[in-house]
Chains A and B, each alone.
Chain A
Amino acid sequence: MSHSEVTTESRAVRVLLITAAGGVVTLFLLLPLMAVFIEALRKGWEVFFEALRDEAALSAVKLTLTAAAISVPMNTLFGVAAAWAVTKFRFKGRALLISLIDLPFAVSPVIAGLVWVLLFGSQGWFGEWLEKYDLKIIFALPGIVIATAFVTFPFVARELIPLMESQGSDQEEAAVTLGAGGWKIFWRVTVPNIKWGLLYGILLCNARAMGEFGAVSVVSGHIRGETNTLPLHVEVLYNEYQFSAAFACATLLALLALVTLGIKSAIEHFTGHVANGH
Chain B
Amino acid sequence: MNYRINTSSTPLFSSRLIAVASIALPVLLGLASCGKKSTSGKTGGSHTLLNVSYDPTREFYAEVNQAFAKQWERDHGDKPDIKQSHGGSGKQARAVIDGLEADVVTLALAGDIDSVAKRGLLPADWATKLPNNSAPYTSTIVFVVRKGNPKAVKDWSDLVRDGIQVITPNPKTSGGARWNYLAAWAWAEKQFAGDPAKVRDYIGRLLRNVPVLDSGARAATTTFAQRGIGDVFLSWENEAYLIEKEFPGKTEIIYPSLSILAEPPVAVVEANAAKHGTTALAQAYLEFLYTDEAQALAAKHFYRPRNSKQQSKLPALELVTVDEKFGGWAQAQKTHFADGGSFDQIYGTK
Provide the bound-state CA to CA distance between A123 and B116, in Å. Answer: 12
Given known A123-B97, A221-B100, A236-B86, contact A145–B50 (CB-CB < 8 A): no
B84 on the A face (CB < 8 A):
yes
Q: Give the contacting residue for B32; candidates A137, A223, A224, A239; CB below 8 A.
A: A137
B40→A134 contact, CB < 8 A: yes
B242 on the A face (CB < 8 A):
yes
Q: Which segment, of B2-10, B158-166, B257-265, B301-309, faces chain A?
A: B2-10
Interfacial residues of chain B within 28-54, with CB under 8 A of chain A in the complex: 31-36, 38-40, 42-43, 50
How many Å from the CB of A176 to the closest CB on chain B? Answer: 6
Q: Give the contacting residue for B1; candidates A123, A136, A173; CB below 8 A.
A: A173
Q: Point out the residues of chain A lying under 8 angstroms from B38, CB to CB.
A: 136, 140-141
Interfacial residues of chain B within 238-289, with CB under 8 A of chain A in the complex: 242, 246
A208 on the B face (CB < 8 A):
no
Provide the bound-state CA to CA distance between A177 and B303, in Å. Answer: 80
Interfacial residues of chain A within 116-130, with CB under 8 A of chain B in the complex: 117, 120-124, 127, 130
Q: Point out the residues of chain A lying under 8 angstroms from B1, CB to CB.
A: 170, 173
Q: Point out the residues of chain B lying under 8 angstroms from A222, CB to CB.
A: 85-87, 95
B86→A139 contact, CB < 8 A: no
A137→B50 contact, CB < 8 A: no
Given known A136-B39, A221-B100, contact A173–B3 (CB-CB < 8 A): yes
B95→A137 contact, CB < 8 A: no
Q: Give the contacting residue for A140; candidates B9, B39, B58, B98; CB below 8 A.
A: B39
How many Å from the CB of A116 to the closest CB on chain B? Answer: 10
A241→B246 contact, CB < 8 A: yes
Provide the bound-state CA to CA distance between A240 and B86, in Å. Answer: 10
How many Å from the CB of B109 to the closest CB on chain A? Answer: 19
Among B5, B36, B100, B101: residue with most chain A CB under 10 A: B100
Provide the bound-state CA to CA distance between A121 and B119, in Å. Answer: 13
Among A122, A221, A236, A240: residue with most chain B CB under 10 A: A221
Interfacial residues of chain A within 130-164, with CB under 8 A of chain B in the complex: 130-131, 133-143, 145-146
The closest CB in chain A to the CB of B219 belongs to: A239
B150 on the A face (CB < 8 A):
no
B218 on the A face (CB < 8 A):
yes
How many Å from the CB of A146 to the closest CB on chain B? Answer: 7
**Chain A contact patch, size range:** 35 or more
Given known A141-B38, A222-B87, contact A122–B32 (CB-CB < 8 A): no
How many Å from the CB of B184 to the closest CB on chain A? Answer: 25
The closest CB in chain B to the CB of A240 belongs to: B58
B31→A146 contact, CB < 8 A: yes
A226 on the B face (CB < 8 A):
yes
Given known A135-B35, A170-B1, A173-B3, contact A223–B98 (CB-CB < 8 A): no
A141→B42 contact, CB < 8 A: no
Q: Give the contacting residue for A176; candidates B5, B33, B43, B83; CB below 8 A.
A: B5
A225 on the B face (CB < 8 A):
yes
How many Å from the CB of A126 to the closest CB on chain B? Answer: 10
A272 on the B face (CB < 8 A):
no
How many Å from the CB of A74 to the closest CB on chain B? Answer: 8
Q: Point out the residues of chain B lying under 8 angstroms from A136, CB to CB.
A: 35-36, 38-39, 99
Interfacial residues of chain B within 50-91, with CB under 8 A of chain A in the complex: 50, 55, 58-59, 83-87
Provide the bound-state CA to CA distance between A127 and B34, in Å. Answer: 17
A139→B59 contact, CB < 8 A: no
Interfacial residues of chain A within 201-251, with CB under 8 A of chain B in the complex: 221-226, 236, 238-241
Provide the bound-state CA to CA distance between A58 and B117, in Å. Answer: 35
B84→A141 contact, CB < 8 A: no
A93 on the B face (CB < 8 A):
no
Interfacial residues of chain A within 36-94, with CB under 8 A of chain B in the complex: 70, 74
Q: Give the contacting residue for B55; candidates A124, A176, A239; CB below 8 A.
A: A239
Q: Give the contacting residue for B9; candidates A117, A182, A236; CB below 8 A.
A: A182
Among B31, B58, B101, B242: residue with most chain A CB under 10 A: B31
A241→B86 contact, CB < 8 A: no
The closest CB in chain A to the CB of B39 belongs to: A136
A141→B35 contact, CB < 8 A: yes
Q: Give the contacting residue for A122; candidates B98, B216, B218; CB below 8 A.
A: B98
Provide the bound-state CA to CA distance between A225 and B83, in Å. Answer: 8
Given known A182-B9, A222-B87, A226-B83, contact A138–B98 (CB-CB < 8 A): yes
How many Å from the CB of B60 to the closest CB on chain A? Answer: 12
Provide the bound-state CA to CA distance between A192 and B242, in Å. Answer: 59
How many Å from the CB of B248 to the closest CB on chain A? Answer: 12
Provide the bound-state CA to CA distance between A177 and B5, in Å. Answer: 7
Known contacts A140-B35, A221-B100; 4 additional CB pairs below 8 A are: A74-B27, A122-B98, A170-B1, A177-B5
**What are 19 of the A-B contact pairs (CB < 8 Å)?**
A70-B31, A117-B98, A121-B99, A123-B97, A135-B35, A135-B36, A136-B99, A137-B32, A138-B99, A142-B35, A143-B35, A173-B1, A173-B3, A176-B3, A177-B5, A226-B83, A236-B86, A239-B216, A240-B59
- 3 nearest A-B residue pairs (beta carbon): A121-B98, A122-B99, A136-B35
Residues in chain A within 8 A of chain B (CB atoms):
70, 74, 117, 120-124, 127, 130-131, 133-143, 145-146, 170, 173, 176-177, 182, 221-226, 236, 238-241
